[in-house]
A and B are shown apart, each in its own frame.
Chain A
Amino acid sequence: MSRNRRGLDNLDREIQNHIEEEIRDNIDRGMAPGTARQAALRAFGNITLVKEDVRAVWIPVWLDQIFQDARYGLRFFRNNPGFTTLATMMLALGIGVNAAVFTLTNTVLFTGFPQVNGNDRILYISGPGGVSWPDYQDWRAQAKSFDDIAVVGELPVSLSDRSGFAESYIATRVSANAFHLVGQRPLLGRDFAMSDEIPGAAPVAILSYAFWEHRYGKDRTVIGRTVRMNSASTTVIGVIPQGFTFPQRQDLWVPVVPTPDLQKREARNLWFVFGRMSEGVTIKSARAEMVTIGKRLESAYPLTNQGYLPEPRTFAESFFGLNAIRMYESIWGAVGFVLLIACANLANLLLVRAAGRSREISIRIALGAGKWRIIRQLLLESVMLSGLGGILGWWIARLGVELYQVVVTPPSWFDHVLDYRMDYRVLGYLIAISIGTGLLFGLAPAIRLSKLDVNGTLKDGGRGATGGGRGRRISGLLVIGEMALALVLLACAGVMVRSFMNEYSADVGVKTANVVTMLLKLPDAKYPNLETQVSFFDRLMVRLQEIPGVESIALADSLPTYSTRRLPYELASDPPTDELRRPKLSALVISPSYFQTLGATVVSGREFNDADRVAVTPVVIVNQRFARKYWPGEDPLGKRLRLFDGKTPEAWRTVVGVVSNIVQFGRSRPELDDLIYLPYRQKKPAFMNVIVRTRISPAAFGTAIRQGVQALDSDLPISYYMSLAERLSWVYALNRSLAALFLIFAAIALLLASVGLYAAIAHSVSQRTQEIGIRMALGATWRDIHKLVLSQEMVPVGIGLIIGLAATLAVVPLLRSQLVGVSPFDPITLGVASATLILCAIVGAFIPAHRAKRVDPVAAVRHE
């Protein structure tokens, strides 16, 4: 068939040849050349018709008609450049913004971890605080929902090789099956083997591509080379392909070796477990199975696993959290509203155009065009418009995504999972909304035009389409819709922005100016006990204090707004508690001058001092909230409490100070936590944040502080060296970017809605020029005209406002979980949003009314 279709090629030449042969025949028979040509042409018949008939054999008529309609549409666009440009721009903006947001949403919600095979089958499992090696082993042995599960944990390393220069790198511990599970194979060398994770096995490491490139200049002989990592001789066995990093942005991977400290069930030092679901397993059934296993372990090991249930999550849930998912969904909804507003504007624009086209359409109907043919042609035109908008929208989306990446920089430990790729899903979405939009905004005007009263229209010069009550009704509906949509969006954006501002300005309880922090983790091998660690930190504090310009230094195992460890405890004033039901409290391990360095206040008693050591009386500081909760109306100083190390009670501690509240566990939560603080010389911390307050901007101190650390231990890695403000901003980085997005879309929606409202109302008023002229001729004053226009044009505006307010009340509560310190029904936001839209409507009504007043009544009456 397709071979035969070649018959269509060169049809012109074939016909030409045919006619020339005929002419030759005719001449051979004795005709004169001129006559011969005429006779040949006559014998052949209508050439154009023949060609059309031949085409019709191959190409169905409807397809041909569509081509015809498309050509017709293009001509219409060419003849109406202003309309076409305006419509295309509006559509491009609406579609582009939608595609851009979908690109973000797609990355977060649908694509999964970049470069992982079969992303949607991978679940990430963890419990409160992380995962312990024994729990992981039990899950792996018992879970039937997964083909395989692997585990991941952090490991700060310091690495030195022949150059002898130690640098700290970010490494991750993974179980030997991890790469196999995510479908990655080393580019060079070999993958981890099960034998690598047996205690006592020769230490090995796999390098990331970036690390291989920047430290070894892509030297292939690096495989088999020995490096010193955390003072142990480690063999490089592989390099992972470019672009892959899991689960964080890191330099190398080492196998998890279950050393004695990992073997404890309560040591939840590993980050998470991830598994590939088996064939036929759903997320729901996998969740159910893990809960069952968790409950089994809970009853088998009540002391360590009480209340600890593994929770399998999808990529989005695990890496971004439910809140973020809701946020992305709501933003997606928000831009959907933007597109709907653009649709309403377009529909209105087309209705206005319909006035000019009703004559042309009437003639077509009069000449026999069917109703469907007309609707089809008009819909094709609107889809062509939205298609054009979609093509431009693709570029707007690309630009938008690029801009978003420049403006909203995710924290560096997070950006590798955000691969904003405009893949086939984005393209499909863009095509779908482009076509959908075209049909949506084109339908009402097309149906309207197809029902034209042909006689009337042809007689009265083409006013039939929009002059009548029906046209006004559609335009009124559009105003109502636009008003309602814009109001919902503005109100949502308003509460989001207000909520973010609350979050941003929330008082954490510390002064962040001129404070820098860094994270130090002392390796167990070198600092096995409290004494060696305390001795290191003591020397460090002295050393850093000597740097000129440093005001004070403190240590803490957590920072404000971050989570803290939770420890079982008992109050001396309360009856003893049951071993299994012992309550836990939040505790920070800190050094002297912690509160001074952070700018918090000691309300009564004292800070810790250098005398608070193991040998002397154990002490504790509580915050005001703790004091108020447990000893209301009493003096907390001198009260006693004790903590438990597993089952073993520690010595009783005496409260020596009460301090102002500092927020932990997330920013700006309405409930402040009751906290206790322990001196670091009396409680061994896992790792320490060093907090340095300087007299001037800390930017200049970077080298001196790093050198201070390296002078004490040149192998010690320093992580997260940055200002406290920056460290704290991580907590709300996501909300900040989402609030910004909401604001941008609300601005676009407001712009589109104002233009749309203005245009719809202005058109509606300008339709009444004649009527206004007559009224004025009959003695109406300008006041009367104003009153008339306002009272009638504001009816749909008012209805839209009421519907919009009702819809807002229905929609905004969906955002409740993301709101901080602002009611979903924030009256200020609703008021400002309504007022803005009403203003646009009034301006839209007044300008044409004013223009109408200037019209000479006589001319207006004669206008038709």
Chain B
Amino acid sequence: MSTKGEGDRIELLQGTLDVLILRTLLAGPTHGHAIAKTIQRTSDDVLEVEQGSLYPALHRLLKRGWIAVEDGTSENNRRAKFYRLTTKGRKQLVVETTKWDKLAAAIARILRPAGHDPRL
């Protein structure tokens, strides 16, 4: 599965899973296992998602109305539940992304002030 060693992997921060799910669903409706795989793959296996924790997060998003669920058929011809981004969820994704960008930039500014040794 993972090609990286244990030391290279980062545990997900509280609340970040939600925005990752929303981002994943932007590409189109899909089922739970595919979401988990996409998150792992697109982060180059850096982000470690305990796959089970996906489900409480999905239900949180369902409850807030950011995503919706419908029955569909997976690529392996299995009946599965497909999660889909709602209009509300789309707006929320923009909000959350902006928040992350700001947060990441702020943390980066603190950790790497201008002229600081880039090797640190």
CB 8 Å contact bits of B1-33 with A (1 = contact, 0 = none) = 100000000000000000000000000000111
B2 → A minimal CB distance (Å): 10
Flag whether A50 is at the interface (Cβ < 8 A): yes
In chain A, positions 727-766 with a C-beta closer than 8 Å to chain B are none
**Which residue among B33, B37, B74, B81 has the maximum number of chain A CB atoms within 10 Å of its CB?**
B33
What is the CA–CA distance of A363 and B60 in the complex, to the nearest angstrom?
35
Flag whether A57 is at the interface (Cβ < 8 A): yes
Flag whether A43 is at the interface (Cβ < 8 A): yes
When the two chains form their complex, are residues B58 and A7 in contact, meaning their CB atoms are under 8 A apart?
yes
Chain B residues within 8 Å of A53, by CB: 53, 55-56
Also in contact, A14 and B80, with CB within 8 A (given A4-B63, A45-B51): yes
When the two chains form their complex, are residues A18 and B56 in contact, meaning their CB atoms are under 8 A apart?
no
What is the CA–CA distance of A58 and B63 in the complex, to the nearest angstrom?
7
What is the CA–CA distance of A23 and B80 in the complex, to the nearest angstrom?
16
When the two chains form their complex, are residues A47 and B52 in contact, meaning their CB atoms are under 8 A apart?
yes
Interface of A, helix, strand, loop or mixed by DSSP = helix
**Which residue among B37, B52, B63 has the maximum number of chain A CB atoms within 10 Å of its CB?**
B52
Of chain A, the residue at the smallest CB distance from B59 is A57
Also in contact, A7 and B59, with CB within 8 A (given A17-B33, A24-B76): yes
When the two chains form their complex, are residues A25 and B59 in contact, meaning their CB atoms are under 8 A apart?
no
When the two chains form their complex, are residues B33 and A22 in contact, meaning their CB atoms are under 8 A apart?
yes
When the two chains form their complex, are residues B53 and A25 in contact, meaning their CB atoms are under 8 A apart?
no
Flag whether B47 is at the interface (Cβ < 8 A): no
Flag whether B50 is at the interface (Cβ < 8 A): yes
Please pick, from B31, B51, B55, the residue contacting A43 in the complex, using a CB distance under 8 A: B51
What is the CA–CA distance of A3 and B37 in the complex, to the nearest angstrom?
27
When the two chains form their complex, are residues A57 and B63 in contact, meaning their CB atoms are under 8 A apart?
yes
What is the CA–CA distance of A14 and B55 in the complex, to the nearest angstrom?
10
Of chain A, the residue at the smallest CB distance from B62 is A4
Please pick, from A17, A22, A44, A45, the residue contacting B80 in the complex, using a CB distance under 8 A: A17
CB 8 Å contact bits of A1-45 with B (1 = contact, 0 = none) = 101111110110011011001101110010000000001000111
Chain A residues within 8 Å of B74, by CB: 17, 21
Flag whether B78 is at the interface (Cβ < 8 A): yes
When the two chains form their complex, are residues B51 and A56 in contact, meaning their CB atoms are under 8 A apart?
no
Flag whether A198 is at the interface (Cβ < 8 A): no
Chain A residues within 8 Å of B1, by CB: 26, 29, 39, 43
What is the CA–CA distance of A24 and B76 in the complex, to the nearest angstrom?
10
Chain A residues within 8 Å of B53, by CB: 45, 50, 53
In chain A, positions 44-80 with a C-beta closer than 8 Å to chain B are 44-47, 49-50, 53-54, 56-58
When the two chains form their complex, are residues B52 and A7 in contact, meaning their CB atoms are under 8 A apart?
no
Also in contact, A46 and B52, with CB within 8 A (given A21-B33, A22-B33, A39-B1): yes
How many residues does chain A have at the interface if contact means C-beta atoms less than 8 Å apart?
32
Chain A residues within 8 Å of B31, by CB: 17
What is the CA–CA distance of A24 and B74 in the complex, to the nearest angstrom?
13
When the two chains form their complex, are residues B80 and A4 in contact, meaning their CB atoms are under 8 A apart?
no
**Which residue among B62, B65, B76 has the maximum number of chain A CB atoms within 10 Å of its CB?**
B62
What is the CA–CA distance of A342 and B8 in the complex, to the nearest angstrom?
70
What is the CA–CA distance of A54 and B58 in the complex, to the nearest angstrom?
9
Chain A residues within 8 Å of B80, by CB: 14, 17
Chain A residues within 8 Å of B32, by CB: 14, 17-18
What is the CA–CA distance of A11 and B81 in the complex, to the nearest angstrom?
10
Chain A residues within 8 Å of B51, by CB: 18, 22, 43-45
What is the CA–CA distance of A17 and B36 in the complex, to the nearest angstrom?
13
What is the CA–CA distance of A56 and B60 in the complex, to the nearest angstrom?
10
What is the CA–CA distance of A18 and B81 in the complex, to the nearest angstrom?
10
What is the CA–CA distance of A258 and B50 in the complex, to the nearest angstrom?
93
Chain A residues within 8 Å of B81, by CB: 7, 10, 14
When the two chains form their complex, are residues A7 and B69 in contact, meaning their CB atoms are under 8 A apart?
yes
**Which residue among A5, A7, A15, A49 has the maximum number of chain B CB atoms within 10 Å of its CB?**
A7
**Which residue among A3, A4, A50, A53 has the maximum number of chain B CB atoms within 10 Å of its CB?**
A4
CB 8 Å contact bits of B62-84 with A (1 = contact, 0 = none) = 11010011000010101011000
In chain A, positions 814-842 with a C-beta closer than 8 Å to chain B are none
CB 8 Å contact bits of A125-152 with B (1 = contact, 0 = none) = 0000000000000000000000000000
Chain B residues within 8 Å of A26, by CB: 1
What is the CA–CA distance of A289 and B50 in the complex, to the nearest angstrom?
81
Give A residues with C-beta under 8 Å from B. 1, 3-8, 10-11, 14-15, 17-18, 21-22, 24-26, 29, 39, 43-47, 49-50, 53-54, 56-58
Q: Beyond the given A14-B80, A21-B76, A56-B56, could you list 7 further A-B residue pairs with CB under 8 A, ordered by the A residue number? A: A1-B65, A14-B32, A17-B32, A18-B36, A44-B52, A49-B52, A58-B59
Offer 8 A-B interface pairs, CB within 8 angstroms, sorted by A.
Answer: A1-B65, A18-B32, A22-B33, A44-B50, A45-B51, A47-B52, A50-B56, A58-B59
Q: Can you list the 9 inter-chain pairs with the closest CB atoms, starting with the nearest?
A: A45-B52, A53-B56, A50-B52, A57-B59, A21-B33, A45-B50, A4-B62, A18-B33, A44-B52
